Amino acid sequence: MNSPYSEYKIVQQCLAQIETQLKWGNSTSWHNDVFIELSEKIQEKTGVLLSPTTLKRVWGKVNYSSAPSISTLNALSQFAGYVNWRDFKNKNKTPLAFKIKKKIMLNSGIIITSAAVMTLVFISFYSLVGKTPRTNTNISDVVFKSKPIAEGLPNSVVFDLDLKDIDSDSIYIQQFWDKTKTIKLQPKQQQATGIYYYPGYFNAKLLVDGTIVKEHDLFIKSNGWLATVDYKPVPKYVTQDRIFNDNMALPTEVLNDIKSSEKPLWASFHFVKDFGTVSGDNFSLKTSIKNVFNDTWAVCQTVQLIILGTKGAHVIPFTIPGCVSDIDLMLNEVYLEGKEHDLSAFGVDFTTQKAIEIQLNDKQLKVFVNGTEVYSNAYNESIGRLVGLRYHFLGAIEVSHLEITDRATKNVILNEDFKK
């Protein structure tokens, strides 16, 4: 069968290198949430946002025969450790696997020997997948539990394990997308610890040879409002008493740090708690936002409202009209890229305060700006119970009001004026 496009084979080699670096197992077992995590990871390392949909196309999870754009290939190459796509190609001109394949075709007398070498090449490429477990263990007997050690952030978590007689050199705990939060285990290991730097509702996974054996939910709460400036690898924390002053904003000294940064700095306001039975698909949110730093790399005034549920999330983006090509909208399983869809409804200049309202009614979304409906759409997969909200932004913002109402009961479940 012909390759879908001329550089298909070398692109596959780049993807294989990325899979090896990630230690997430073979991509044949990757699902939607993995591509969401990979999208975030690529953006953090390269500054380029490749949507989960784009990544699924490149990895062949979506039927799409066109070649990836040069900007996509540059970002993937940078993520793999190269300067750009040209640099990757120059340093990987003739893949070893291709040389062996050609040799097999031309020298049928040594097919068996060459096939053995091909096997070794495959194993070295996918060594993190590991060997097949030598076990008769009933997976239901495997124990995988966790408990946070402390309140607040950062927070270490103890994982309790009983791996029974699983024998593999590829046993991992995947805390979430960040590979530094992936913990390698040894057979018979009974405990492991990991650290979480951000609040959220996570799905911890126990993987054996790239296959999810067990998984469970892990809830790290924010204990009120918490601000973070997303330095790597450890964020800067700003507590509620320092960000409340008749509005919610970063204190002056933190804002000065952001303004002096030569590189883009994301920051966030987090509120993560148990809201009980409130549905993440059936509530309304009203808030008022103003931008207070829009120079240099923050010129687009990008703000994301991230709604967290027990089974998924919504990401509603806003930016100035001239930058809408660079934003993506996520309604749980629905991804809309600004480069492929008209998201001009989310073009909002926050230089002056704007009132934003988001209504979710039985998986139907409506967005209002200053009382005018600007966008509506639907999705199919529930995000589960509501467990939190994030304001995620480039630069700095002030939030002067927030009200969240459970549409099922008509009860106001959160009403903030951010006074000390």
* 68-83 pLDDT per residue, tens: 888 899 999 999 999 9
Q: Where are the alpha helices (DSSP H) in 223-371?
A: 240-243, 252-260
* Cβ 172 vs Cβ 143: under 8 Å: no
Instruction: Please report the pLDDT score of residue 244 as a whole number.
Output: 97
Average the pLDDT over 172-192 and give the result.
82
C-alpha span between 180 and 22 (Å, rounded) = 9
Average the pLDDT over 87-113 and give the result.
50
With cut-offs at 50, 70 and 90, classify the pLDDT of residue 181: low
At what angle are helices 70-80 and 32-46 packed, to 10 degrees?
A: 80
| Closest of 348, 290, 281 to residue 317, by C-alpha | 348
Torsional sign, CA 7, 9, 13, 19? positive
C-alpha span between 346 and 327 (Å, rounded) = 9
* Cβ 267 vs Cβ 227: under 8 Å: yes
Average the pLDDT over 359-364 and give the result.
96
Instruction: Please report the pLDDT score of residue 52 as a whole number.
Output: 84
Instruction: Please report the pLDDT score of residue 223 as a whole number.
Output: 93
Q: What is the DSSP letter of 385?
A: B
* Cβ 66 vs Cβ 33: under 8 Å: no
Instruction: Please report the pLDDT score of residue 66 as a whole number.
Output: 78
C-alpha span between 19 and 21 (Å, rounded) = 5
Mean pLDDT, all residues of the chain? 85
- What residue type is 124 in one-letter code? S
* Cβ 233 vs Cβ 185: under 8 Å: no
| Closest of 252, 286, 253 to residue 359, by C-alpha | 286
C-alpha span between 153 and 150 (Å, rounded) = 8
What's the burial of 414, exposed, middle or buried (CB within 10 Å: 0-12/13-18/19+)? Answer: middle
Average the pLDDT over 1-27 and give the result.
84
| Strand residue runs (E) in 310-351 | 313-318, 328-331, 334-337
Instruction: Please report the pLDDT score of residue 47 as a whole number.
Output: 85
Average the pLDDT over 271-299 and give the result.
96
Sequence-ordered list of residues with C-beta below 8 angstroms from that of 143, at least 6 positions apart, any chain: 160, 161, 162
Cα 187 from chain centre = 29
Report pLDDT digits (tens) over 215-250: 999 999 999 999 999 998 899 999 999 999 999 999
What's the burial of 150, exposed, middle or buried (CB within 10 Å: 0-12/13-18/19+)? Answer: exposed
| Closest of 35, 5, 47, 51 to residue 340, by C-alpha | 51
110: pLDDT strictly greater than 80: no
Q: Which helix or strand (DSSP H or E) is residue 356 part of?
A: strand 354-361
Report pLDDT digits (tens) over 15-54: 999 998 998 877 877 877 788 889 989 988 988 888 888 8
Sequence-ordered list of residues with C-beta below 8 angstroms from that of 80, at least 6 positions apart, any chain: 14, 17, 18, 21, 88
| Strand residue runs (E) in 149-302 | 155-162, 171-174, 182-185, 191-196, 200-208, 211-220, 225-229, 236-239, 248-249, 266-272, 282-293
- List domains and CATH numbers for the chain: 8-93 (no CATH), 139-220 (2.60.40), 225-416 (2.60.120.200)
Instruction: Please report the pLDDT score of residue 94 as a whole number.
Output: 52
Sequence-ordered list of residues with C-beta below 8 angstroms from that of 170, at least 6 positions apart, any chain: 25, 128, 129, 130, 131, 207, 208, 209, 210
pTM for the complete prediction? 0.69
132: pLDDT strictly greater than 70: no
